[in-house]
């Protein structure tokens, strides 16, 4: 009764692992990939007012005009992207939907999308469900897990339709610097490729590094689908709002799928988000906290026998190397959970090049990080 294509996609490795977590009492978790902060008060208040004002009906398929206008202004001021709010911006039900309909809008059966790994668990299956083929490129710790343009060039074939990049990256916290983005842009132009740029973590960058949107480079706006949202920067995960920015042809194609599958993004969330553009101080405060936690976690991991960890430049994940323990990523994560009650995510769920690593989230309190580090040390010393 189930299609072969769906049957051939395994369940998310993260979900599978957290079924084990739910069976274990008193777990100290470094596994959750979402902010532990509350949604900023002005946004919550605006959401309550939207309900009280009966702003609960369907909106335009594209999203409410006021929010698209605000996003257009944000893209211009912060990303150097000029986007028509009427024809080039689409409000989606989270960035996950934006990714899904972007891939479905551009792919023909059998076409390929190149993905640097380790990568977010949804990228490959999303392409597969759209009757495309994901083509993985391994990244390495030696290059801070940042994709190398030359590696992309080697994978381009006559079937290649797009390259999917994410900066900062989940799970490694890596970023793609401007020089490499420029070379990727040159490849896209040379081979007539589309770039899907996942920029959901753009606000979470450290050590004076800068975020660059590839759509802002010469010749790239017409061939880039920028995907972004507010879930990570504004602690807005459960409100389910994201957006895409692309040329009118691609945006209309994405909207066609969106109108049949989703109709519109949640109206209350859209109206609440109008206040997000006044919450810069909230975001800065969260950033400062994440930065302190990042340094605490990475320093602690590097002080544990048989574990090493490079300093991530973005997002809220560290990706420590556990190869010296002699355990696979799955073995390490399962034993760590069962023996000392600490939850991390095996690096292997993010692709083959994630084997030998684990993902640790520092979107948790300093107290939780310190407790987890103590238990990980106990575990590692007992191996």
Residue 17 pLDDT exceeds 90:
no
Residue 262 pLDDT exceeds 90:
yes
Average pLDDT, the chain: 96
User: Which residues have C-beta within 8 Å of that of residue 333, sequence separation ≥ 6?
Assistant: 17, 343, 344, 345, 346, 358
User: Which residues have C-beta within 8 Å of that of residue 48, sequence separation ≥ 6?
Assistant: none
Question: Tell me, what's the pLDDT at 342?
Answer: 95
User: Which residues have C-beta within 8 Å of that of residue 170, sequence separation ≥ 6?
Assistant: 33, 119, 120, 201, 315, 317
CATH of domain 41-278: 3.40.640.10
Map out the domains of the chain as residue ranges.
4-39+280-381, 41-278
Q: 4-39+280-381 is classed in which CATH architecture?
A: Alpha-Beta Complex (3.90)
Assign 10 a pLDDT band (cuts: 50, 70, 90): confident
Beta-sheet strands, E only, within the chain: 28-29, 89-92, 112-117, 133-138, 160-166, 194-198, 224-229, 242-245, 317-318, 342-343, 345-346, 358-361
Q: Are β-strands 342-343 and 345-346 bridged in parallel, bridged antiparallel, or unpaired?
A: unpaired
Residue 5 pLDDT exceeds 90:
no
Residue 22 pLDDT exceeds 80:
no
Question: Tell me, what's the pLDDT at 9?
Answer: 85
Question: Tell me, what's the pLDDT at 329?
Answer: 97
Residue 153 pLDDT exceeds 80:
yes
pLDDT in tens, 97-140: 999 999 999 999 999 999 999 999 999 999 999 999 999 999 99
Predicted structure pTM score? 0.95
Instruction: Quote the CA–CA distance of 119 and 353 in Å, as a whole number.
Output: 9
DSSP 258-271: HHHHTSS--HHHHH
Question: Tell me, what's the pLDDT at 257?
Answer: 98
């Amino acid at each position: 009764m189930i299609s072969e294509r769906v049957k051939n996609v395994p369940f998310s490795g993260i979900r599978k692992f957290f079924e084990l977590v739910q069976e274990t009492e008193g777990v100290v978790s470094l596994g959750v990939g979402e902010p532990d902060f509350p949604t900023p008060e002005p946004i919550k208040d605006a959401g309550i007012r939207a309900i009280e004002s009966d702003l609960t009906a369907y909106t335009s398929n594209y999203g409410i005009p006021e929010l698209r206008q605000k996003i257009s202004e944000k893209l211009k001021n912060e990303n150097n992207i000029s986007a028509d709010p009427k024809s080039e911006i689409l409000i989606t039900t989270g960035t996950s939907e934006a990714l899904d309909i972007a891939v479905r809008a551009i792919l023909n059966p059998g076409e390929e999308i190149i993905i640097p790994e380790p990568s977010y668990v949804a990228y490959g299956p999303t392409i597969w469900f759209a009757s495309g083929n994901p083509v993985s490129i391994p990244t390495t710790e030696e290059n801070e897990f940042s994709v190398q343009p030359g590696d992309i060039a080697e994978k381009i074939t006559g079937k290649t339709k797009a390259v999917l990049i994410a900066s900062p990256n989940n799970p490694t916290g890596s970023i793609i610097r401007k020089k490499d983005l420029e070379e990727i842009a040159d490849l896209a132009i040379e081979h007539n490729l589309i770039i899907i740029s996942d920029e959901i973590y753009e606000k979470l960058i450290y050590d004076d590094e800068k975020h660059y949107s590839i759509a802002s480079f010469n010749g790239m706006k017409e061939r880039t689908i920028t995907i972004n949202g507010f879930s990570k920067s504004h602690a807005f995960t459960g409100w389910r709002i994201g957006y895409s920015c692309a040329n009118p042809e691609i945006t209309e194609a994405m909207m066609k799928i969106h109108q049949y599958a989703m109709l519109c993004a949640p109206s209350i969330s859209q109206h609440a988000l109008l206040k997000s553009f006044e919450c810069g101080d909230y975001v800065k405060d969260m950033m400062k906290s994440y930065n302190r936690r990042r340094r605490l976690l990475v320093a602690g991991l590097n002080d544990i026998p048989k574990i090493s960890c490079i300093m991530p430049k973005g997002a809220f994940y560290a990706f420590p190397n556990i190869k010296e323990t002699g355990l696979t990523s799955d073995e390490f994560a399962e034993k760590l959970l069962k023996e000392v009650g600490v939850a991390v995510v095996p690096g292997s769920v993010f692709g083959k090049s994630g084997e030998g690593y684990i993902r640790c989230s520092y979107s948790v309190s300093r107290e939780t990080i310190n407790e987890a580090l103590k238990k990980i040390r106990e575990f590692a010393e007992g191996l």
